[in-house]
Chain A
Amino acid sequence: VKAPEPDRRPVPLGSRVALPAGPMDTPTWAIPHWLRRVATSSTLHMSIAASGQRPTITLDRVPAGCGGRVVAVGSAHAVDLLHEGILPGTHLRLRTVAPVGGPVIVELGRATLAIARPIAATVRIMLETEGSP
């Protein structure tokens, strides 16, 4: 998948982005639920390449070294994440994953964040850059 020019202003200012209060958005691309559950990120890439659409996956499943743009944040931890600058439109990169179910470690601009996996699971990412694992 070729990385396009990153769109820095995905949401026009003032268009009542507020906090995504509802449940998490549903991905638009059509992969059966059962397949999504077993799909690794690489198979996701292939299926996306085939369908011509870009993948959105939750942050806890982003492979190390990959970057992307946040497209949706679940409401449960939205305030906490917002205070760290994670809201629809921000770019981030996954650095590493701490062992035995520890937090994911994410680079956001110059900052480094440790995000517990249950919280990371509420953040939906559109992959943009492929990292070297």
Chain B
Amino acid sequence: VIHRHQSLASRGAPVPSRRDGADATGAAVARPAVIALVGRPNVGKSTFLARASRRFAETANAPGTTVTLERRVVTAGGRSGLLVDLPGTRALDDRPADEAPFWELLLAERPDAILVVIDAGDVGRHIPLVIACRELGLPIVVAANLADEAERRGVELDRGRLSQLLLAPVHRTVGRTGDGVDVAVADALRLAERRVSVRDGRSWPRATAPASIYPPTVEARIAATAATTAIPHSLGAAALDEAPTAIHVAAGTISPRGAASLLLTRELEPIRWLTALDWVEQVQRRADVHPTLADRLARLATSPWPGLPLFLAVTLGSFGLVVLFGGWLAAAMAAAWSATVSPWLGSMIPAIVPFPALAGALLWSLDGGLLGMIAVGVPYVLTFYLVIAALEDSGYLMSAAVLMDRLFAGLGLSGRAAIPLLTATGCNVPAVYGTRVLRTRRERLIGATLATLTPCSARSAVVIAALAPTVGTGAALAAFGLVAGLALSVGFATNAIVPGRQPALVLELAPLRLPLLRHVAAKAWWRFRSFVVMATPIMLVGSFALGLVYESGFWAPIATAVGPFSGWWLGLPAFATVAIAFGFLRKELALQLLIALAAMTYGAGITGVGEVLSPPQLFVYAIVATISIPCVATLAALRAELGGRAALGIGLGTIGLALLVGGVLARLLGIAGMPAVG
């Protein structure tokens, strides 16, 4: 309860009571009108938010992409306000992402109006949530989203009739193109502003027609509960303790009847669903159209045949695309760099900088470091982001994951875990936060462990760039297979060790959608840009520091300290082991530093790593770099989500696993005990 008070207080504005309006003398805090975006999972709220605020928002064709709140200032129809994107929810008392029920999240934002986003092609599923929102006593505006998709599927929606039934404006919107988004937001802002002015005493509430879908007996119960909910302020915190809804009634966020509807939700929800069944008959007409290609593909994807082979083909195809396109891009860019910038830097820097050691270090940083970025970061990570963005937006992997539900069950996870694990192939950090969609702590622990063992785009780039051009594509594939096998074994082991069982699931599958090129490009570009902005300085500083050590003669003591163990156990030169350790900062740094070394000492480009390390060494190197301790950002996310002990355990566990596997591999490949080079 204390945190509830804090969450209300921390919003800056004092909690206004309903009497504020009467004695308002202009001192009332000017708070922007707040509009909450509410809707079932995967109905396109984040796309809607991005459209309304004209700024990118992280989206995917998968339920549960948004697990944190996102607040944006929006302007439409000459008004402005705050639009809050909430996690998707199936009902107001659902617990979508955390321990708290959804309505607590919603009411903590103190919305002045609710913009309910529904699927125009399947309104029956969404009407119960709209009714529930309406009963809170807040003005609502309905956005019948995904309208283009509905029309393609021959679903016709009588928005006028729906509006009559819901007693709320219903707008046709298409989030992907932005059709109708501004109009809907403007409408919500209008209603919200009106509510704010009523609360501030600047205007009178407008009489509204009573709207009830309930029979008299239920209605009487609601009225009785509402009477007990309106606890006067003077009763103090003790009374509020017992009725968390009462605090919101006292603050004027919801009506007493709204609070009663929350308290009686178990009783009211079935009636809402039955009402929805009834209303759908009145507002929706379905023409018999040939099922769209996407629908037919979805059927194939969720059936064992040809679903499973298809899944294998898509996975291998994506891998091949990254290897081929990324490899081509890397070779072209590295060649261009070596031909033009590199010689120029090589002649300029020693001429300008008088100290040879400093000049050398600068060369390491600017020439070798940037070459590393260009050879690994840019081509492979960018290609990977593009592939992942396209797969995410299609919703395909989600459907396919259902077929492997048994596999997840063996790992102690529900099929829901597919969402964070798919995210993890892009980046582990959002994946760790994404484990919030899992219901139990046990499941989240296993999910987070597996997410950190899933090669993210940076680690995949390291594996592919280190192995594919020098050792061969097969070696890269083998490395991925080995990592996948290890992750699965760890999952099975964790499931066996950690007590408890996984809960069974009911999961709504995302429909397949053709990814829009513009969307995919925007998403990949957005992630790529933040990658470059984050990674380049670290790369420059990291390679500068290492270069300084190398050029100034401090390398020898480090090599003698690390070398024996590195050579004896992993069969790697000290330099490779230090590079792997640097990967703690950013995973791709591990390889980029190696490329910098190759460039600086052998004068070779991307294929230079082949001259620093032999093929078996490269394989061991790639495996150890991929499995060993997740990057510092992932560790921070783990600590934030699961606590310090779990983060420490996962971090140390991965180091141990990496060293164990590396040592065994080194012995199998016959490179253990090789003298340390460098």
Binding site for B on A (CB under 8 A): 8-9, 11, 13-19, 77, 79-87, 89-90, 95-96, 98-103, 105, 108-119
Q: Write the nearest CB–CB distance from B61 to chain A, whole angstroms.
A: 13
Q: Which residues of A contact B128 (CB under 8 A)?
A: 85
Q: Write the nearest CB–CB distance from B87 to chain A, whole angstroms.
A: 14
Q: Which residues of A contact B273 (CB under 8 A)?
A: 82, 85, 87, 90
Is B299 located at the chain interface by the 8 A CB criterion? yes
Contacts A13-B278, A87-B273, A89-B277 given: A96-B302 contact, CB under 8 Å? yes
Is B109 located at the chain interface by the 8 A CB criterion? no
Q: Which residues of B contact A81 (CB under 8 A)?
A: 506
Q: How far is the CA of A98 from the CA of B415 in the complex (A)?
A: 12
B302 x A109 contact (CB < 8 A)? no
A19 x B270 contact (CB < 8 A)? yes
Contacts A100-B406, A103-B415, A105-B402 given: A95-B302 contact, CB under 8 Å? yes
B506 x A113 contact (CB < 8 A)? yes
Q: Write the nearest CB–CB distance from B97 to chain A, whole angstroms.
A: 15
Contacts A13-B275, A98-B402 given: A114-B507 contact, CB under 8 Å? yes
119-134 of chain B: CB within 8 A of chain A: 119, 121-122, 124-125, 128
B406 x A99 contact (CB < 8 A)? yes
Q: How far is the CA of A30 from the CA of B275 in the complex (A)?
A: 34
B506 x A77 contact (CB < 8 A)? yes
A18 x B125 contact (CB < 8 A)? no
A9 x B124 contact (CB < 8 A)? no
Q: Which residues of B contact A105 (CB under 8 A)?
A: 302, 402, 509
Closest to A17 in B: B270
Q: How far is the CA of A114 from the CA of B399 in the complex (A)?
A: 9
Q: Write the nearest CB–CB distance from B122 to chain A, whole angstroms.
A: 4
Closest to A106 in B: B506
Q: Which residues of B contact A103 (CB under 8 A)?
A: 402, 405, 415, 505, 507
| Contact code string B491-526 (vs A, CB < 8 Å = 1, else 0) | 000000000000011111101000000000000000
B405 x A98 contact (CB < 8 A)? yes
Is B527 located at the chain interface by the 8 A CB criterion? no
Q: How far is the CA of A112 from the CA of B155 in the complex (A)?
A: 17
B266 x A19 contact (CB < 8 A)? yes
Q: Which residues of B contact A82 (CB under 8 A)?
A: 91, 269-270, 273
Which 10 pairs, one residue from A and one from B, show the smallest C-beta to C-beta distance? A14-B215, A116-B504, A110-B122, A83-B90, A102-B405, A112-B509, A96-B303, A114-B402, A114-B507, A100-B406
A110 x B507 contact (CB < 8 A)? no
Binding site for A on B (CB under 8 A): 90-91, 94, 119, 121-122, 124-125, 128, 153, 155, 213-215, 217-218, 266-267, 269-271, 273-275, 277-278, 281, 298-299, 302-304, 308, 399, 402-406, 414-415, 504-509, 511
B508 x A11 contact (CB < 8 A)? no
For the A-B complex with A79-B266, A99-B304, A102-B404 known, give 4 more contacts whose Cβ atoms are closer than 8 Å: A9-B274, A17-B271, A98-B406, A108-B125
- Which residue among A18, A83, A101 has the maximum number of chain B CB atoms within 10 Å of its CB? A83
B406 x A102 contact (CB < 8 A)? yes
Q: Can you list 23 pairs linking A and B with CB atoms under 8 Å apart?
A: A9-B274, A13-B213, A14-B214, A14-B215, A14-B271, A18-B266, A18-B267, A18-B270, A77-B504, A82-B91, A83-B94, A87-B273, A99-B304, A99-B406, A102-B406, A109-B125, A112-B508, A113-B508, A114-B402, A114-B405, A115-B505, A115-B506, A115-B507
Q: Write the nearest CB–CB distance from A31 to chain B, whole angstroms.
A: 28
Q: Which residues of B contact A19 (CB under 8 A)?
A: 266, 270
Q: Which residues of B contact A15 (CB under 8 A)?
A: 215
Contacts A83-B94, A102-B402 given: A116-B505 contact, CB under 8 Å? yes
Q: How far is the CA of A9 from the CA of B505 in the complex (A)?
A: 28
Q: Which residues of A contact B124 (CB under 8 A)?
A: 85, 109
Q: Write the nearest CB–CB distance from A111 to chain B, whole angstroms.
A: 6
* Other-chain contact of B507, A8, A101, A113 (Cβ < 8 Å): A113
Q: How far is the CA of A102 from the CA of B275 in the complex (A)?
A: 33
A87 x B270 contact (CB < 8 A)? yes
A109 x B122 contact (CB < 8 A)? yes
Closest to A99 in B: B304
A8 x B415 contact (CB < 8 A)? no
Q: Which residues of A contact B505 (CB under 8 A)?
A: 103, 114-116, 119
